[in-house]
Structure 1
Amino acid sequence: MIPAARPAVPGAGAVLTGTAYASCHHGEILQGVFLDDRGHRCAGLVTLPMSGPGSRAEFVRRPGSPPEELSVFPADRTKARRAAALALAECAPLCGEAPCGGQVRLTGGIPVGLGMGSSTSDVIAVVRAVADSFSLRLPSETIARLAVRAELACDPLMLDGRPVLFAQREGRVLEVLGPALPPVVVVGCVLGGGAPVDTLSLPVPVHDDEDVRAYERLRALLRRAVVTGDVALLGAVATASARRGQQRLGHAEFDALTDIAEAVGAVGVQIAHSGAVAGLLFDPADARLASRVAGCVRALESTGVPTTRTFTTLPHHHGVSAWTSTSPTRSAGRT
């Protein structure tokens, strides 16, 4: 059994300031509706991990102040404020204290609205920072529960990086697919000119039995890709999931992405199902990797699709660092 919480430093005194960090992701490899272990339909997703941008939170706790005196900077991070209140209500009783007020300060460079998990990153960083102010470390299951309450649905950024099929509206793991995804090199880009996607304005998908069977087949293929380290199969699953997501998102650039992927020898395409970020996936063991990536960047830019960053899910591989710019210009709107 994992304890509800445990001291970060056994025997340490109360800590009034807590700090924490949470990473983001690069959209989904797979997202749809799946069956849980009881045979019930459940929305689920598998995210593409990415190092680099993230959210950092600092929480200054003020014991004795009313819980309503809780402020967040930037002030528009309302989900983060809810997360702080929930975390205070969770952590204070564990230390024999009453919930109080305080101040949260968030920093980080995750673009908002592109489907990179910016709100979940904020929420997790805040929950961890509040816990840290009590000298506590909350288990991932508790953080997931609080994150769902704070934002109604969340990404699995609180987990240990293993590829999981995650029920984003329930905050629970449907399946651990294996120890690690097959490593890929990703040429990132943004669709729709990089304009944020208002997912709440999109039509709610209705899935029939055939849809569920199709997603379960993709789940089985992704499981096989993880177990065998098959990069090409991973790319095929991502492309199939992105294609099905087109029924809801309708990105005008989708056909161009898949055409470029085929022309330059990418193993597949992945698109955030709740945003505008996308990526062309390459096998890092490909002997022609450098020329393929360069050709991909040229083709995307010539098509009018802005490139963002080329990164790999391995720290260093074949001369591609974990996070490098592929854009000729830098701007705050780029990922």
Structure 2
Amino acid sequence: MTGSGWCPCHHGELLQGAFRDRDGVLRAGLVTLPRPDLRVRARFEPGPEPVITVGPGHRPKATRAARLTVAALADRGAEWAGSGRGTAVAVPQRPGGGRVTLTGSVPFGLGMGSSTADVVATIRAVADGFGVRIAPREIARIAVAAEAASDPLMFDDPRPRLFAQRDGVVLEVLGESLPPLRIVGCLLDGGRPVDTPADAPPLPDPAAYAELRSRLRRAVSSADPTEVARVATASARLHRADSEIDRLLAAGEHALGVQVAHSGSVAGLLLRPDADPAPAVAALRAVGLPATGSFVVGELVAA
């Protein structure tokens, strides 16, 4: 049957660096800044041929994700058939084919999770086509296998997560929701597209990131947007020290803070949710960074 799936994008990161897991293993990790108003949708139409394709255009990561999903469903079907649990859910016994069509408004290569949104929407659509709903943890495993590094966009609830993007595992759930923030976005580096490399870069010194992790956890728990913005600014400073970040920081002099994409050119000024974005837009324009739009994230926490 025809299947459908969707996935939102994000607006870069609030925090990214190197963090210890519960066993003390150092892993690359990130906390994304959600952008749920922009999303990718996928439609899967099974076909008689064993080949599965994804379009429009060349979508190699989503194509790998589609094929890995079909193979995972086939393996699951074989396990169920051999366990005597029957075939209440229609899972193919061998990999099948079809066509995935992606639609959406997520820009490519700017650090907004376009490839992960493609991948997650594709996984969901293919699984839905075979009558199966895949858990986020399994989607994360397939996504990392398909694209080497993945964003935590497969989780539908608003809880901010520290996510090991090259392992596909959640290192920590930091709280129930980010406090409300208004983001006025812009593009650094002239908006040049960036493709996340398959090879993992060297991990940075973890000491500073352990402190930022603790600070962000406390800020989320206390619903403190100012401290969230300070953590994001500190993470941005650790990530890059060049004229582009200097311009962003100059524009954000009267904002709560700034945030950047750690693999891409998207960035933003962080404001209180009820703030007028016009002064921030003017500040960005004054340093040569035209604003790309304004949106609000987070939820108010009852006292």
Q: Name the structure 1 match of 2:179.
A: 182
Q: Name the structure 2 match of 1:328.
A: none
Cα deviation code 1:219-261 (max 9, x no counterpart): 00000000000111001000000001105xx4x3211211221
Match of 2:288 among 286, 298, 304: 304
User: Could you tell me how far 1:203 is from its partner in structure 2?
Assistant: 9.6
Cα deviation code 1:55-82 (max 9, x no counterpart): 111111125x32xx22221231000000
Q: Does 1:59 align with 2:56?
A: no
Check conservation: 1:193, 1:306, Cα contact below 8 A: no
Q: Name the structure 1 match of 2:125.
A: 129
- Name the CA shift for 1:283/1:31 in 2 (closer, same or farther; >3 Å): same
Alignment of 1:61-80 (within 5 A): 61-63=46-48, 65-66=49-50, 69-80=51-62
Give ranges in structure 2 of 5+ residues lacking alignment.
78-90
**Alignment RMSD (CA, Å):** 1.9
Give me the whole-angstrom Cα distance separating, in 1, the residues matched to 2:226 and 2:158: 21
Q: Does 1:116 align with 2:101?
A: no
Match of 1:43 among 11, 15, 28: 28
Q: Residue 93 of structure 2 aligns to a residue in which SS? A: coil
Cα deviation code 1:93-115 (max 9, x no counterpart): 43252211111111111111100
Match of 1:171 among 144, 168, 171: 168
Q: Name the structure 1 match of 2:70.
A: 88
Match of 2:201 among 179, 198, 204: 204
Q: Does 1:215 align with 2:184?
A: no
Q: Does 1:270 align with 2:267?
A: no
- Name the CA shift for 1:100/1:170 in 2 (closer, same or farther; >3 Å): same
Give me the whole-angstrom Cα distance separating, in 2, the residues matched to 1:138 and 1:198: 27
Letter in 1 for 2:32: T
User: Could you tell me how far 1:197 is from its partner in structure 2?
Assistant: 2.4
Give me the whole-angstrom Cα distance separating, in 1, the residues matched to 2:290 and 2:73: 44
User: Could you tell me how far 1:52 is from its partner in structure 2?
Assistant: 1.8
Q: Does 1:283 align with 2:272?
A: yes
State the structure with bigger RCO (CA 8 A, min sep 6), 1 or 2. Answer: 2
Give me the whole-angstrom Cα distance separating, in 1, the residues matched to 2:151 and 2:15: 13
Alignment of 1:133-152 (within 5 A): 133-152=129-148
User: Could you tell me how far 1:206 is from its partner in structure 2?
Assistant: 4.6
Match of 2:99 among 87, 92, 103: 103
Give me the whole-angstrom Cα distance separating, in 1, the residues matched to 2:27 and 2:42: 31
Give ranges in structure 1 of 5+ residues lacking alignment.
1-15, 317-335
Q: Name the structure 2 match of 1:230.
A: 224
Q: Residue 98 of structure 1 aligns to a residue in which SS? A: coil
Match of 1:261 among 245, 248, 252: 252
Q: Does 1:18 align with 2:7?
A: no
Hey, which bits of structure 1, 4+ residues long, moved more than 4 A? Answer: none
Give me the whole-angstrom Cα distance separating, in 2, the residues matched to 1:127 and 1:23: 14
Q: Name the structure 2 match of 1:327.
A: none
Q: Does 1:157 align with 2:153?
A: yes
Give me the whole-angstrom Cα distance separating, in 2, the residues matched to 1:70 and 1:96: 14
User: Could you tell me how far 1:17 is from its partner in structure 2?
Assistant: 0.8
